[in-house]
Structure 1
């Protein structure tokens, strides 16, 4: 009888430990995504200044600026989900990259100190988001391993824990860039 009680207590202690570990890992995933969300908000907040600065010097980029403004509004809306924000961020990033390329046609804008400061801040923001995404993916991998590996997978399945997808690079960002096309355009 004592042996059965010891085994039951041992199983209970192991179960509690695994449960707490799964909860901790799940919270770490949520925290890692929250860090991305904060970085996205910071970057979205840069957009109005960038748009106003570019507007002062350009006449022909109105469509791109309008698109960026609309995407920012959608991303900051209260009903935007995590997935929506990430998708909109990719669209904004693509639009801003196109805008930065078109800035080459405006030498006065390229030399403007406010624009140069915004461009530097934008680049720093992109680097911070990339670092936050790497951290998120590492955290998700740790969580997914706990959900999928024995023996914690038994507790995870009983408690309804499921794997979480890692953040992947958009297909268009994975394309190989042709230097010939880049410099001959």
Structure 2
């Protein structure tokens, strides 16, 4: 009789552990989804700001239509990017590059830089960029936690049984990775 109780207790402990691991994986998967949703919300806000910014610049720099068209094309491409995180990150990095060229263009137009509407749009866009970076860090942290749990023993057994899959990190652009390198000073 004592042997039966021991077996029963072991089975119950194993079942409780299995449920705990499964629930932990579900929580992490949902956190990753929530974090990705936060990124999408901030990117949508960014997409909504860009046409207003382009229209404001267009009034002052009408002959710079090539740069303005590139910004709009990059925005449309970023909005259409669906599927993998890598594809989204690539289109977002292109959009960031075109926005940088737009802001560089404004250096030639002092009256535009003094325009209150332009300054407010630029501030909002900078704020949105900061929020995207924060959301990306939050997403990557949750992806790291999920991927680690999927790889660690014994949770990897449950992850494979219930088809939990690793997620992609939202990677930096190549030029941003180079910017993180230590600066070499030569005399």
TM-score higher than 0.5 = yes
Superposition deviation, residue 113 in structure 1: 0.7
Q: In structure 1, which of residues 84, 90, 95 is the aligned counterpart of residue 93 of structure 2?
A: 90
Q: In structure 2, which of residues 21, 30, 33 is the aligned counterpart of residue 30 of structure 1?
A: 33
Moved over 6 A (4+): none
Q: Number of aligned pairs?
A: 176
What residue number does 2:170 align with?
A: 167
Q: Distance in 2 between matches of 1:175 and 1:143?
A: 27
What residue number does 1:180 align with?
A: none
Residue by residue, what CA displacement relative to the aligned partner does 1:53-103 show, whole Å, maximum 9, x if unpaired?
0000003321121122122223334x7335343322211111001110111
Matched, 1:59 2:62: yes
Superposition deviation, residue 157 in structure 1: 1.9
Q: In structure 2, which of residues 112, 115, 118 is the aligned counterpart of residue 115 of structure 1?
A: 118
Distance 1:44 1:82, change over 3 A: farther
What residue number does 2:128 align with?
A: 125
Q: Distance in 1 between matches of 2:179 and 2:133?
A: 19
Alpha carbons 2:21, 2:155 under 8 Å: kept: yes
Q: Distance in 1 between matches of 2:25 and 2:16?
A: 14
What residue number does 1:149 align with?
A: 152
Q: Distance in 1 between matches of 2:176 and 2:62?
A: 28
Alpha carbons 1:32, 1:136 under 8 Å: kept: yes
Q: Distance in 2 between matches of 1:150 and 1:64?
A: 52
Residue by residue, what CA displacement relative to the aligned partner does 1:126-160 show, whole Å, maximum 9, x if unpaired?
10000001111111111112111122111112222
> Can you give the 5+ residue segments of structure 2 that lack an aligned partner in the other structure?
181-187
What residue number does 1:48 align with?
A: 51
What residue number does 1:3 align with?
A: 6
Alpha carbons 1:39, 1:129 under 8 Å: kept: yes
Q: Distance in 2 between matches of 1:67 and 1:102?
A: 13
The TM-score, its normalising length taken from structure 1, stands at: 0.88
More deviation, 66-75/8-17: 66-75
The TM-score, its normalising length taken from structure 2, stands at: 0.88
Q: Distance in 2 between matches of 1:85 and 1:118?
A: 24
